Amino acid sequence: MGNITVSDNVISEIAYRSICSVYGVEPDDKDFKKLRKNISVERTPEDNVIINVKLEAPYGENILEFSKNIMKTITENVSQMTEKVVEAVNVVVIGVSEREFNKNS
């Protein structure tokens, strides 16, 4: 047969679109696209994935609940679409945003 490899860029894009869905933002939102550079993917020796995300939480939200929702959404989507084991999603909240979002949390 052959091999199927899912690149880190694909995993990063799935994570980005997952975050967009939590924020209620379209993936092509010009201002929001900057978040892409704050997503990194690591591989374990077993080829499992660890996803690191730096983002801003919406002002007034419970930061822990918001972060847990991001972690859960990314884990579910990456696992479902790639059949990869997501060992961890690490969220670093680097600020709070006053921007209005259509949150789907």
- The dihedral built from the CA positions of residue 35, 42, 86 and 2, taken in this order, carries a sign that is positive
| Strand-by-strand arrangement of the 49-58 sheet | 39-43, 49-58, 86-97
Q: Are strands 39-43 and 49-58 parallel, antiparallel or unpaired?
A: antiparallel
> How many C-beta atoms surround the C-beta of residue 17 within 10 A?
15
User: Could you report the per-residue pLDDT of 27-83, keeping only the tens digit for each?
Assistant: 998 888 889 999 999 999 999 999 999 999 999 999 999 999 999 999 999 999 999
Domains of the chain: 8-97 (3.30.429.10)
Strand partners, 50: 42, 88
Secondary structure element (H or E) that encloses residue 94, with its range:
strand 86-97
Is the pLDDT score of 99 beyond 80? no
pTM of the model: 0.90
Tell me, what's the pLDDT at 2?
Answer: 92
Is the pLDDT score of 103 beyond 60? no
